[in-house]
Chain A
Amino acid sequence: METENEITGKKTVMVVDDEQDVLLSVTQILEANNYRTIKASDGYECLEKLKEEIPEVILLDIMMPGLTSREILEEITKDGRLAKVKIIFITAVHSLEAEEAGLLNASQVVDYIEKPFSMKRLLDAIEKVVTE
């Protein structure tokens, strides 16, 4: 059976951010740029939705209430179904903290973008991932 992605030809990006304005704006812009999107406001929702659908890219905010980004990353990396999913971290914290937490070493993590960021930079990063 063909998935919706295969029918529409659109790539799917999951956006995980507890800031509703960021979540809504980024997903709207991604949709306007011809991506399908999945929204999640925290780590639990992210993992729950990943059981139903597998995106090409996950934009994951590092600092969120509930599950830590390390815990989310661990769940994703140990799930064989998600082996091809690429992760781009988006965060307001300094990269050193992410390095300290060892988040950038995981093979599925392909980029790291600090807030504030330009949407052009994000769109270019996603495009690079989905065309590889």
Chain B
Amino acid sequence: MKADADLFAKIIGAIQGFGETGATVDEISKAVSLERHTLSKYMNLLRADGRVSYKQIGRARVWFISKSPLQHVFGLSEEDKTYTEKVFSRILSDMPEGILILDFDYNILFANRYLTTLYGNCVGKKFYQTLFNSSQDVSGISALIEGVTEELESCVEDKEGRMLEIKARREKNPDSSFSIIAIIRDVTEKVLYERQIKNLSELQRLLGESVNRSYTIDELASTILKNLCDVIRFNMGDILIYDPTSTSLSTCATIGYPDEPVPLDVEEWKRKIALVTIQRRANFYFNFDHENTNKDEIVQAACRLARIYDLQEIHSILLKTKGEIHGVLLILTRAGRSLSREDRSLLEGLSEMIAGGIAKIKAEEEWKLKTNVLDILAHPIFMITMEGILAYVNPAFLKMWGYDRESEVLGRHYTKFWKEDAKDVIHALRQRGKWEGELLAVRRDGSEFNARLSASLIMGKKGPLQLIGILEFDNGN
């Protein structure tokens, strides 16, 4: 085997010695001192291996070193191919992914049917121009050509907006030059799907953390719209928040609307659509038809909006959770763009989550408001856990007991702030649900004062939650 390898190397070296003009079998025979028939046998083996090729010039075959073995295989006419070459080329041509062979100067030497369907006949053209309409490489293949790496995996967007997954490697040719062999797949659907999942996850995370992250409703709505737009790819959208006491709507986020001036009535039409959706307590779906004759007020408003923005569809989706309507999500698509049934289901499914996020922020804002009321109340108030640990005190409590900060009292047992008889209060609260009576309180400085306490157990969704106490001053205090 080694002898054969040595002989092959000797033959290739001899052909290389003849340069670009190539050599006939007679010339090679002389150069390697092999009998013509024996040489022919080795030449055919080398050709089958793709390392040498020939051109028929008149009656003579002139042999060359194959610069790119694969190019050679695909360059041959069908009748000149060996059986193996025929099978091999068909397999590559019919593969459900793109096969691309480049030379060291980004020239396309071979592209299979998958790629010619996408980019036309591109052999001989620059790779980066054909795929990316760019004047230089954007795929990372330059790292292979410059020898920085031997293998490459990348995902890039082509000139048509397709996401291409490229797996490429550098292959050494028999003449010591190299080619780049790349396998290319259009993964647009996969990438979009993954992006959708990522955006959905982000959306869920945002909604989950909407209160913890101290979002305002406007901030939450803007972020939700952006994420939804990335997932569903609609053209324009609004989130309108509903105030049931004044039965009015306010726009807290919009996306995608053009900057150009539009009639002032546009906002009114959008509110009309949203308000009627709320009144009817049912989502509204509208597909624009120029011949529409429906006189329904919501359809009329939708038609006007569709004409201004050249719309195809309007989706007005209630943001409703636990029976309460918090607003409306308006989704608009341009002419020719319709949402799929899956997208509509997704929007309807997400609407309750969005409403939940808005409800959380509203509840948080309401709680903050109530806390403010407690903060300005002159009566000391405290909340304790079922174990008697202080969980909340208002400023009046701190002032009455002579403390400066909440941190000085929270986490401590409530009995530390009273004389001994307070121990029975928690027991009574657990047993009887409420307690009222007089206790002797102990200030920070050790001084004492009489206080009338009214306390109650707080029942949560799953059982007893906390105990709350409010002080009513004795006469004279």
Spell out A's residues near B (CB within 8 Å): 19, 21-22, 25-26, 28-29, 32-33, 92-94, 96-98, 100-101, 115-123
If A33-B432, A33-B433, A94-B324 touch, does A118 touch B457 (CB 8 Å cutoff)? yes
Taking CB atoms, residues of chain A closer than 8 Å to B244 are 96
Contact indicator A93/B323 (Cβ below 8 Å)? yes
Contact indicator B433/A19 (Cβ below 8 Å)? no
Report the bound CA distance from A98 to B460 in whole Å. 19
B53 CB–A CB distance under 8 Å: no
Q: List 20 A-B contacts (CB under 8 A).
A: A19-B462, A21-B463, A22-B459, A22-B463, A25-B459, A29-B431, A29-B432, A93-B322, A97-B323, A101-B323, A115-B461, A116-B458, A118-B434, A118-B458, A118-B459, A119-B434, A119-B458, A120-B433, A121-B456, A123-B434
If A29-B432, A29-B433, A33-B433 touch, does A116 touch B323 (CB 8 Å cutoff)? no
Taking CB atoms, residues of chain A closer than 8 Å to B461 are 19, 22, 92, 115-116
Contact indicator A116/B460 (Cβ below 8 Å)? yes
Contact indicator A25/B464 (Cβ below 8 Å)? yes
Report the bound CA distance from A29 to B432 in whole Å. 5
Per-residue CB contact flags for chain B residues 385-414 toward chain A (1 = under 8 Å, else 0) read 000000000000000000000000000000
Report the bound CA distance from A118 to B381 in whole Å. 14
Taking CB atoms, residues of chain B closer than 8 Å to A123 are 433-434
Spell out B's residues near A (CB within 8 Å): 244, 322-324, 431-434, 454, 456-465, 468
Q: A30 to nearest B CB, angstroms?
A: 8
Contact indicator A96/B457 (Cβ below 8 Å)? no
Contact indicator A32/B459 (Cβ below 8 Å)? no
Q: A120 to nearest B CB, angstroms?
A: 4
Q: B324 to nearest A CB, angstroms?
A: 5
| Interface pairs A-B: 6 shortest CB-CB | A97-B323, A21-B463, A119-B433, A120-B456, A29-B433, A118-B456
Report the bound CA distance from A25 to B434 in whole Å. 13
If A21-B464, A25-B464, A33-B432 touch, does A119 touch B323 (CB 8 Å cutoff)? no
If A28-B431, A29-B433, A33-B432 touch, does A122 touch B323 (CB 8 Å cutoff)? no
Report the bound CA distance from A20 to B324 in whole Å. 27
Report the bound CA distance from A128 to B463 in whole Å. 24
